[in-house]
Structure 1
């Protein structure tokens, strides 16, 4: 009996140690990297130099780590683009030859020095905004004939505003770009980007509440008040990715059982690169949850699913962005995909005349959502309660057996 009690005690201790270790592994999350952020508009442009044309600006956010530096460069020359350069030096710096940079025909007019410190670079370009007449409510632009599409909005032809010292917040670095092409369609509407930069790991305040790290930035894209060209219009956004020798070339879809932070969404999509030797170059990523919102203040009722096309194979192509031509050259390796908004049966764009979508751009491994404390608590109660009941039941049975004396034999007459 004593040996049996010892086994039960050991099993109980093992169970609680295992539960504590499991919970600590999820809650701990590993080391939270910290970076020091600094913001600079039009780096290296002296007051005596000619100013950039209206609507053209270059934002540089420097994220300094212990032994490395991330350089985020957001530019509104041509199609808006975000360039990310990762170096192994704490003193690397951005150098811009402004006359050549503004001419948009000179490669190498933007560099990160020393060039030998560059470990990895990648960029995302917003190249086109497609509008199509979804008369049959298929919500699949790949099944439409070319006649179903309206002429695309070429974002490289837009005039951009908002990237200036008045709109920058050094305490919580972010920048906003809004633009239009001067056509009647954009007379009362706009296409906007909100780019946020982070010093440490955290989570967005608004849905879809993406988990970010100090190695990533968040971009929120929205279309507001643009008159649709058909009663059943839907939109699709074309993204181009440039990544040096290894541009993003595949999309991974990860699944989860936890939707606490983004209700009703159990997936996350990652557009990642496939370097030949992952130990020699840190991969970059574009990460999002397949959901958009039809109103400025996201709520569950206004969520609408989105889908992505398969990435086109990397190819040499002239970039639509002056920033990428200046950094990568006239024909960098470029990949592209489309993100379309809405599914069959979902309201069309005309219902609210608003669409917003949020994603991350970063270097290294994409952030991974672990189970939230609420889900862990439910799991602990669901798994722990039956075990506790079994242990208590076993103890009660043993105590009852010990308290009951063995039955005595009655004499036989």
Structure 2
């Protein structure tokens, strides 16, 4: 047993050495930005400053909730907003990151619609549902969004955009709301709450929350639509990364991600990454896990009305230089529970620049596996050595008769 204890002690020391390296850190600033004559802040600027670069996340609810992701090779780059132009009919150029020549990459993601459909057969087949099963979609550009400055927490580096349907004659939003919670990170770690997303200093997090929104049917399921922009020398693509390790999200083995697919692979790009699961209660308990799935990207360049924030940064001719594609994420699984059970849904994703985080076995799991797989071999070796020693001792004690 002393050998087993010694082995476990050595494995613990190794794991501490692995975890002892100093992580890369950024200096993070979180600011609610409001105009000179505005009583409500609807812009949030997250500035993650590195040694020689800056990642800017500019969130806004000028139209559909939208985030601009801008990577600058200057640690001194700043956000500038021309409020007069931003609120004008032609907002092009109203939002700038300066110096402009420091910008190496930029993209945008807009959260545009929430679809609701009647899943009477409990198949969770969003793409195969008949048109008659769908209720009128909630257009998030038509929502009224609260003042983000009132939710700003500079200590926790978080803020929340909370919205209600501006036109709600049936009072489905009488006690409910839709929210987008934003969190920023100074260094890499893992989220405390399920699905325990892994993140780095190059990431921020967004949580989509539907709380107490009355469904329009007993068997309603919901779908979130996102629209993304990518320069025409490349395009976005979706990937699924599978792992046998479900240590942090039991029974969930799929990590989904929306990444940039460009010709020049030497350039790092933006990404959105999430586990294939949402939750039906605020504590994100395993018992209320709601599987989710993404659907094929489709081009909406000719049909999607651009939000003001995207036009303000990319310009009026954004469609000429950027691919505009939509992605749907549907919530629910065949024979599963419906939204009506709790009237609550929360889904999390990390948004960032560079290489998406990749899950791996924790040092604890590696130590356990090493003991479990190594002990039989160790016992065989120890047993063989012991037998040899005993055998040699027995022969050495024999006294021959002269």
Please, what TM-score do these two structures have when normalized by structure 1? Answer: 0.87
Query: In 2, are the aligned partners of 1:248 and 1:284 still within 8 Å (CA)?
Result: no
| Number of matched pairs | 387
Aligned to 1:207: 194
Aligned to 1:12: none
Indicate how the Cα distance of structure 1 residues 89 and 314 shifts in structure 2: closer, same or farther if over 3 A, else same. Answer: farther
Unaligned 5+ segments in structure 2 are 1-6
Mapped to 1, the partners of 2:343 and 2:176 lie a distance apart of 9
Aligned to 1:174: 158
SS in 2 for 1:264: coil
Mapped to 2, the partners of 1:60 and 1:393 lie a distance apart of 65
Query: In 2, are the aligned partners of 1:319 and 1:325 still within 8 Å (CA)?
Result: no
1:153 to 2:138 alignment: yes
- Match for residue 253 of structure 1 among 219, 240, 260: 240
Query: In 1, are the aligned partners of 2:67 and 2:108 still within 8 Å (CA)?
Result: yes
Indicate how the Cα distance of structure 1 residues 105 and 187 shifts in structure 2: closer, same or farther if over 3 A, else same. Answer: farther
How many Å apart are 1:316 and its aligned residue?
Answer: 5.7
SS in 2 for 1:274: strand
Aligned to 1:9: none
Name the stretch that deviates more: 300-309 or 373-382: 373-382
Query: In 2, are the aligned partners of 1:246 and 1:274 still within 8 Å (CA)?
Result: no
1:265 to 2:252 alignment: yes
Please say which structure displays the higher CA radius of gyration.
1
Query: In 2, are the aligned partners of 1:248 and 1:285 still within 8 Å (CA)?
Result: no
Query: In 2, are the aligned partners of 1:247 and 1:314 still within 8 Å (CA)?
Result: no
How many Å apart are 1:119 and its aligned residue?
Answer: 1.2
Aligned to 2:3: none
How many Å apart are 1:324 and its aligned residue?
Answer: 0.8
Name the stretch that deviates more: 267-276 or 249-258: 249-258
Indicate how the Cα distance of structure 1 residues 108 and 229 shifts in structure 2: closer, same or farther if over 3 A, else same. Answer: same
Please, what TM-score do these two structures have when normalized by structure 2? Answer: 0.89
RMSD over equivalenced CA pairs, Å: 2.6
Aligned to 1:288: 274
Indicate how the Cα distance of structure 1 residues 380 and 152 shifts in structure 2: closer, same or farther if over 3 A, else same. Answer: same
How many Å apart are 1:133 and its aligned residue?
Answer: 0.6
Indicate how the Cα distance of structure 1 residues 104 and 286 shifts in structure 2: closer, same or farther if over 3 A, else same. Answer: farther
Query: In 2, are the aligned partners of 1:23 and 1:376 still within 8 Å (CA)?
Result: no
Name the stretch that deviates more: 366-375 or 82-91: 366-375
- Match for residue 401 of structure 1 among 360, 382, 391: 391
Superposition map of 1:188-267 within 5 A = 188-245=175-232, 249-267=236-254
Query: In 1, are the aligned partners of 2:77 and 2:102 still within 8 Å (CA)?
Result: yes
- Match for residue 62 of structure 1 among 47, 52, 66: 47
Aligned to 2:4: none
Mapped to 2, the partners of 1:348 and 1:230 lie a distance apart of 10
Mapped to 2, the partners of 1:203 and 1:314 lie a distance apart of 35
Unaligned 5+ segments in structure 1 are 1-15
How many Å apart are 1:216 and its aligned residue?
Answer: 0.8
Mapped to 1, the partners of 2:352 and 2:276 lie a distance apart of 18
Query: In 1, are the aligned partners of 2:185 and 2:204 still within 8 Å (CA)?
Result: yes
Aligned to 1:10: none
